[in-house]
Structure formats: C-alpha cells, structure tokens
Amino acid sequence: MADKKPQTGAASAVDPNFGLRRAHILMALSTVVFIAFSIAYNFLSPYVTPVGLHWLDGGMANPDEHDHYQFVAYLAQHGSLPPFGHGGGNEAHQPPLYYILAALLYHVSASPHAIRFLSCVLGIISLWAMFWAVKTITPNRPVFAVFVASIAAFIPMNLSLCSAVNNDSLANLIFALAIWRMAILATWRDGGHFLRDALLLGVVLGVGIWSKMSAALLFPVVVVFWMLLASMKAMARRDILKGALVSLGAGLLIAAPWLAHNYFVSGDLLGVGTFLKVLESQNNSPQKMIAIWGLKLYFENMFSWTFASYWGVFDSMLLFYLPQVYALALIMSIISIGGLFRFAKGICAHPGVRALVWSFVVLFVLDLISFVQYNVHFFQAQGRYFFPCLLPLTLAFVGGIDSLLPPRRKGMAFAFLIGLFGLFNLLALVMMQARYGS
C-alpha cells in the first residue's frame, strides 16, 4: 500500500495527459448519473397530475409543459407554426428550433415522456460544454472543470428541466456553448484558428435567437467581451476588430430572418409583446400580489421563492423541499462568497480570462434586469430564469469553495459536494413519488 502514491505521481509525470484522461473518465461517470436521474425525473413526474391536485396550472407537473407540448404537436401535425392561444398555447411566440427537433421525435412517439428525452440529450451536451468551457479557463485543472460542470448539471431544478418538454434546455445549452467559444477566444494564442473560432461564436449567437429569445442577452455581452479584450490588451486590436465583425456579423445574419418574422407578426423584434399582454390579462400582476401580501412580504417572497426555485421547486413551482435544504444551499453559497475574490484573482491573471469574467458580470446584470422587467408584468419568482448564468454562477460557487480548501482536501470535499447534490435529487424523486403515487 505504501508505494501506490509514488506510482500515481510517476504516471502523471510520465504522461502529461493523465489528468485529462482521468477527467474524461469522471465526466463519463457524471454523464451516466445524469442520464439515470433524468430518466427517473421523466417518469416520476407525470405529464398530467392527479385530478384536483393542481387546479391553478391545468394539471402540469412541470412549468408551462402543456403549452410547450401543444406547440410541438401542432407543428408536427400541421407542418407550420401554431397560432397564439387556442391551438398553439401560450408559448406560440417562442422561436421554433427546439420545437422542430421535438416534432421529429413526435413522429416517432407522441408520448410526452418520449419527447422529454430531447431535453435529456440537450442536458448531456450542456454538461460537456460546461466542462470544456471551464477546462479552457483553467487548463491545468481538468478535474476542477469536472466538478463545476457536474454540480451545475446536478442542480435539481436543472435536472428537472432536462426531463421535461420545454425550450429552456436548449437555451441553457446555447449559453454554455457561447461561454465555451468565448473562453477559447479569450485564451487564444498565435497558431490557432482565430477567425474560425470567432465565426463559430457567431453561429452560436445566431442559432440562439432561433432557440429562445433570452439568448438575445448574448449579443450585448459579446460586444462588451470584445471591448474588454481591447481595453485589457489581451490581443492585437486588429484581431479584435476582425473577430468582433465576424462573430457579431454572422450572429446577426443567422438571426435576421427570425427577428424580421417577429417584427412583421407582432410588431417587435423579440416577439414577446403579445405574450406579455396575455400575462397581464391573467391578473397575477405585482400590484395584485402587493395588495394581497403587502410590500414587505411581497419582496420577502420574491427573494425566497426565487432562491429556492433556483435549486429546486417541483410540481410546477408547488412542491418545495423542507426549509433545511434551502438553508444548507444558502450556507454553502455564503461560504463560497467568502473565497470568491481569491478565486477570481487567481484565474484573472490572464487578461483574456479577466475580460471573460467581467463579461460574466455583465451577463448576470442583464439577466437580472430582464428578470425584473418580466416581473413588472407578471409575478414570476422563478430561479430558472437565472439559468442563462448557470455556468458562471456555478463556477463562482465552486471556485469560491475551492479557494478556501487545503489542496489535499479538494478532491474529497468536491466528491462529497457532488454526492450531496445527488442526495438532493434522490430526495426530490422521493417527494414526487409520495405526491403523485404509483
């Protein structure tokens, strides 16, 4: 037993790819666990809830799932985009890419449980995209990238969404891919395929507009990203100008047809005007909620429900964990904040990564503004609306904790943390089984 440690060290010294191979093995294990949890969420979460259990949302076990499925069914049956409202549901304003992919599955099986597997596949790709992004930012710590990607993927709310009919899973993949491509450009060195990488970022931007309109946040973020690279002298300004023109130009070119469609159909580029009017007509406005609760309780509920549902609130935002679970998540978040500055300082030594990290801050601020604007029309204290920032927030969460740990304890601590998130998911599944029965 005594000579096993030197053998490991020797193997690592002889083979510089030892750490990367180990990371890939761990990622394969994470993928298997993710698939297992996703299948369990899929079949323990009914498409139609028991009569009388869920009158408010029309018997949905997952947020807005009936409307998303209605879009898929209409597109598959008629070969055209559905009308808003009757026949198309309240999601008919959404960009069509997710629904086109789901409609292909619909022709194989019209069961909602079958179509939910598309979200599982998108979640698997997101898991790996997040790994590649973090590995690019911290190239000497591939196992750390495994921890970040796995914890992000295993957040119970994310797993629940990756087991339901919705376009959030595709949108979250778009954000993960965009961050990965930005990380590649931020750490670019001579000899790479710079314009090709800039073009690929532009393709992700454009495809994002066809996926979900929240992806529009990426355009100003990428503009700021290129400006920060210039101000921090991360590379030659000539390269930055060419990269910005290629990425933003390609993104706008791909996005233009759908933006034009929105403008001619609904009068605004994002195509959300009709949707917001419907939300306001449902009489669940902030003014109504403040009248019922009072201003103090309104903001308390806004914060606590949003925080809770970021980690996991199920049965279409009705089934909560016990308060102790959210208290533990809050304690871990506070601990991570304590080490966040040290972690950020460590990875920001590279000017390109520093520009990327500040771009994360811009993304979070824009996402927050979008969340506030949405809640001006309709009370929606849902943490999933911050999942465009899932990767940056998890990187901050894991990185902050990582910077506080002694080197010898990091692996054990994060194995425990991933196991804890696994227990959270098991608890959610037990709660669902108890709520819905067999």
Q: How many CB atoms lie within 10 A of CB 233?
A: 12
Closest CA to 213 of 155, 262, 274: 262
Lowest mean pLDDT among 226-230, 288-292, 295-299, 422-426: 288-292
Q: Is residue 5 part of a domain?
A: no
What spatial distance separates the first Cα and last Cα of the chain, rounded to whole Å? Answer: 49
Classify 51 as helix, strand or coil.
coil
Summary mean pLDDT of the chain: 90
Please state, in angstroms and rounded to a whole number, the distance separating the CA atoms of residues 72 and 114: 12
Q: What confidence score (pLDDT) does residue 58 get?
A: 61
Q: Is residue 14 part of a domain?
A: no
> Is the Cβ–Cβ distance between 214 and 98 less than 8 Å?
no
Please state, in angstroms and rounded to a whole number, the distance separating the CA atoms of residues 5 and 245: 51
Give the burial class of 183: count Cβ atoms within 10 A of its Cβ; 0-12 exposed, 13-18 middle, 19 or more buried.
buried
Q: CA-based diameter of the chain, in Å? A: 73
Please state, in angstroms and rounded to a whole number, the distance separating the CA atoms of residues 384 and 317: 11
Please state, in angstroms and rounded to a whole number, the distance separating the CA atoms of residues 62 and 73: 17
Higher pLDDT, 87 or 180: 180
**Beta bridge partners of residue 319, listed in sequence order:** 314
Write the CA distances from 86 to 70, 83, 92, 98, 110, integer angstroms: 10, 7, 10, 20, 20
Q: What confidence score (pLDDT) does residue 8 get?
A: 44
**Beta bridge partners of residue 89, listed in sequence order:** 85
Over residues 193-244, the pLDDT tens digits come to 899 999 999 999 999 999 999 999 999 999 999 999 999 998 999 999 999 9
DSSP per position, 304-372 = HHHHHHHH-EETTTTEEPPHHHHHHHHHHHHHHHHHHHHHHHHHTTSHHHHHHHHHHHHHHHHHHHHHH
Q: Is residue 92 part of a domain?
A: yes
Q: Supply the range of the domain harboring residue 266.
A: 20-436
Q: Is residue 13 part of a domain?
A: no
Quote the DSSP letter at residue 55: T
> Is the Cβ–Cβ distance between 118 and 101 less than 8 Å?
yes
Higher pLDDT, 85 or 183: 183
Model's pTM, two decimal places?
Answer: 0.93
Q: What confidence score (pLDDT) does residue 86 get?
A: 64
> Is the Cβ–Cβ distance between 360 and 348 less than 8 Å?
no
Provide mean pLDDT across the span 359-367: 98
Q: Is residue 8 part of a domain?
A: no
Q: What confidence score (pLDDT) does residue 53 get?
A: 55
Over residues 38-64, the pLDDT tens digits come to 999 999 999 987 755 554 556 788 888
pLDDT at position 328 over 50:
yes
Q: Give the number of domains in the chain.
A: 1
- CA-only gyration radius of the chain, Å: 22
Provide mean pLDDT across the span 241-255: 97
> Is the Cβ–Cβ distance between 137 and 182 less than 8 Å?
no
Q: Is residue 9 part of a domain?
A: no
Over residues 366-425, the pLDDT tens digits come to 999 999 988 888 888 999 999 999 999 999 999 999 999 998 889 899 999 999 999 999
Q: Where are the beta strands (DSSP E) in 189-346?
A: 313-314, 319-320
Over residues 119-141, the pLDDT tens digits come to 999 999 999 999 999 999 999 99
Cα-based angle 223, 214, 166 (whole degrees, multiple of 5): 145
Higher pLDDT, 316 or 77: 77
Please state, in angstroms and rounded to a whole number, the distance separating the CA atoms of residues 108 and 114: 9
Q: Is residue 50 part of a domain?
A: yes
Q: What confidence score (pLDDT) does residue 85 get?
A: 66
Q: Is residue 211 part of a domain?
A: yes
User: Under the phi-then-psi rule, with left for phi > 0, alpha for psi from -120 to 50, and beta for the rest, what region is 311?
Assistant: alpha
User: What amino acid occupies position 119?
Assistant: S
Over residues 88-108, the pLDDT tens digits come to 677 888 999 999 999 999 999
